[in-house]
Structure 1
Amino acid sequence: MDSGHAHAAGPDTGPAPGPGPRSEPVPFGPGSLLWDIAGDVRLLLSLPAALVLQVAHPAVGAGVDDHSVFRTDPWGRAERSLDSLQLWVYGGEQALEEGRRLRRLHRTISGTDTRGRPYHALTPASYAWVHATAYPVFLRAAQYLFHPLDERDERRLYDELLHLGAILGIDQRDMPRTPEEFWPYFDTMVREELERTPVVAELLDPRRPIPPPDGAGAFLRRTWPVLRPPLARLHVFVTTGLLPPAVREHLGLAWTARDERGLRRLGTVVRTVVPLLPERLRYLPRARAARRAART
């Protein structure tokens, strides 16, 4: 989900061959679950948890550590990633080109991960893992920030994420085929692959130095030293809370009953307030434009 893109890694050697001839996947449109939730501003609260899940994979973490500009240009990196993600769902035919662009971008990304294994950004297993993290995080976000999905919609969401993977050039053979197959795969990845990589530690450090947003006015620049610490703590709190409990435990992240109550209270406020917002505030710009165009 972190485009720009955290689709970097793989403990194996070299990229896999590109997909063979096949029909192009159909872009998303109204009526899909992703159309409704991927452009909602609440997505901004859940994306950091997906990124932490991604970079907890040693090869993905090493790829981001070695090749990303998230330290030197955090706001620009986040903006480009978010715009790419929005294209996947709301870009129509542009979504297909964005998927191709991302694969071109990652062709030269390679190195050695934290376990001394060679990685390449387009290694199928790792490229698929980055995409697979969307499912548990979307479900957690739905539980706290939207509304919990029933079994039918959980299955529908998984099918849509498989379709999104096709748009991004991920072969369905590299992804579990059903939710029933996904969870054993996920548990194995958590148990055998994930670790508290240096990038995970950095992303979950509320003291991490972050400059004011690009283009910030004089007032925000002056008050940023006061605003940044509580905003950073809130960011780390929500990110940690939206990680699956098994991942928190495996990574050694503290989470108390009090923390859980706090997250649930925050979620109640978010679920109450966001649906009352006008569309121009509730949806991100590309999603808002696509929804408007679909109504005409």
Structure 2
Amino acid sequence: YPIGGVVFDSDPETTGREVRDYHKTIKGRMDDGGRYHALDPDVFYWAHATFWYGNIRCAEAFGPPITEAEKRQLFEESRTWYSRYGVSMRPVPDTYEDFLAYWDHMCRYELRDHAAVRTVLDITKLPPPPWMPSWTPRWLWRIQAAQGQKMFMWITTGLYDAPVREMMGLSWSERDEKLFRLFGKAVNLGMKLVPRRYRRHPRARDADDRLTGRVATDAPVLETPARNLPSGVERGKPIHYCPVHASRRANLPWQSNDVND
């Protein structure tokens, strides 16, 4: 949610600095003994690259279609977006063509398989989501998670570049590619049935509402629902996004009753 706010909030620079500062304590040593820090400009820009370029990859896979001119426009806007974090602009490519070369180089030569990657990709290890009834048997959740894992990994693999699939040992056949394209067309058709307003991410929709007068321009931003936050002692750690929720008008149709403490 706050990363989207770096694009859509009325004061995006402040939001950008907040997001940047969530990363101050994310540091340590790699398996080979080398040090890492989340605010290393090369590391931070790569994370940003996956966010903005993910828009293009998803549009290519699931629609609506995106033109080359729109891709270049998104790249230029991504430079402005990144500048709002207040992190060095040194790693940022100058042109869209430069970015594509950078992306290819990262996928082919820099990315590495890692236990952290495998953990993120294995949703079967997650506990039942908070919206599930407390009486739901664990065995039933494990079955649901296992089935969801198959689809999750298939979609994720389809969005990966070929060098990343190879590096991680993920198979992808011509049949998979054909089915993935058909799946993308089905998603695009399905989204056309959804009202335009609800195709938007809540943070972007909140910005639209400020511009149209549906919500007061000085109203608190729409923060993430509490269901997205860690529980227990984890919630207070600075590595997690944990804003103080500001209440919004109760009659907003998209506002969740599940709010932050």
TM-score by length of 2: 0.73
Pick one of 21, 34, 38 that aligns with 1:117: 34
CA deviation after TM superposition for structure 1 residue 196, in Å: 1.0
* Structure 1 residue 86 corresponds to structure 2 residue 86: no
Amino acid across the alignment from 1:214: P
- C-alpha separation in 2, matches of 1:148 and 1:135: 16
- C-alpha separation in 1, matches of 2:187 and 2:49: 25
Query: Runs (4+) of structure 1 moved beyond 6 Å?
Result: 219-222
CA deviation after TM superposition for structure 1 residue 219, in Å: 7.3
**Judging changes above 3 Å, is the alpha-carbon distance between structure 1 residues 289 and 136 closer, same or farther for their aligned structure 2 residues?**
closer
**Judging changes above 3 Å, is the alpha-carbon distance between structure 1 residues 183 and 156 closer, same or farther for their aligned structure 2 residues?**
same
**Judging changes above 3 Å, is the alpha-carbon distance between structure 1 residues 221 and 287 closer, same or farther for their aligned structure 2 residues?**
farther
Q: Check conservation: 2:157, 2:170, Cα contact below 8 A.
A: yes
1:1-296 to 2 correspondences below 5 Å: 83-93=1-11, 95-205=12-122, 208-218=124-134, 223-279=140-196, 281-296=198-213
**Judging changes above 3 Å, is the alpha-carbon distance between structure 1 residues 105 and 204 closer, same or farther for their aligned structure 2 residues?**
closer
CA deviation after TM superposition for structure 1 residue 189, in Å: 2.0
Gaps in structure 2 of 5+ consecutive residues: 214-261
Amino acid across the alignment from 1:88: V
For residues 131-181 of structure 1, give each alpha carbon's deviation from its aligned partner in whole angstroms, at most 9, with x where no partner exists. 122344322211111134222111101011111101122333321111111
Amino acid across the alignment from 2:190: V
Q: Classify the secondary structure of the residue corresponding to 1:106.
A: coil
CA deviation after TM superposition for structure 1 residue 261, in Å: 1.8
Q: Check conservation: 1:110, 1:120, Cα contact below 8 A.
A: yes
Q: Which has the higher helix share?
A: 1
**RMSD between aligned alpha carbons?**
2.2
Amino acid across the alignment from 1:262: L
If asked which structure has higher relative contact order (CA below 8 Å, sep 6+), I would say 1
CA deviation after TM superposition for structure 1 residue 262, in Å: 1.9
* Aligned residues between the structures: 212
For residues 13-51 of structure 1, give each alpha carbon's deviation from its aligned partner in whole angstroms, at most 9, with x where no partner exists. xxxxxxxxxxxxxxxxxxxxxxxxxxxxxxxxxxxxxxx
Identity between Structure 1 and Structure 2 (%): 33
**Judging changes above 3 Å, is the alpha-carbon distance between structure 1 residues 101 and 198 closer, same or farther for their aligned structure 2 residues?**
same
CA deviation after TM superposition for structure 1 residue 105, in Å: 2.4
CA deviation after TM superposition for structure 1 residue 274, in Å: 0.9
| 1:56 alignment partner in structure 2 | none
- C-alpha separation in 1, matches of 2:55 and 2:32: 29
**Judging changes above 3 Å, is the alpha-carbon distance between structure 1 residues 187 and 282 closer, same or farther for their aligned structure 2 residues?**
closer
CA deviation after TM superposition for structure 1 residue 221, in Å: 6.4
- C-alpha separation in 1, matches of 2:53 and 2:206: 28
**Judging changes above 3 Å, is the alpha-carbon distance between structure 1 residues 89 and 217 closer, same or farther for their aligned structure 2 residues?**
farther
Amino acid across the alignment from 2:103: F
For residues 49-71 of structure 1, give each alpha carbon's deviation from its aligned partner in whole angstroms, at most 9, with x where no partner exists. xxxxxxxxxxxxxxxxxxxxxxx
**Judging changes above 3 Å, is the alpha-carbon distance between structure 1 residues 86 and 217 closer, same or farther for their aligned structure 2 residues?**
farther
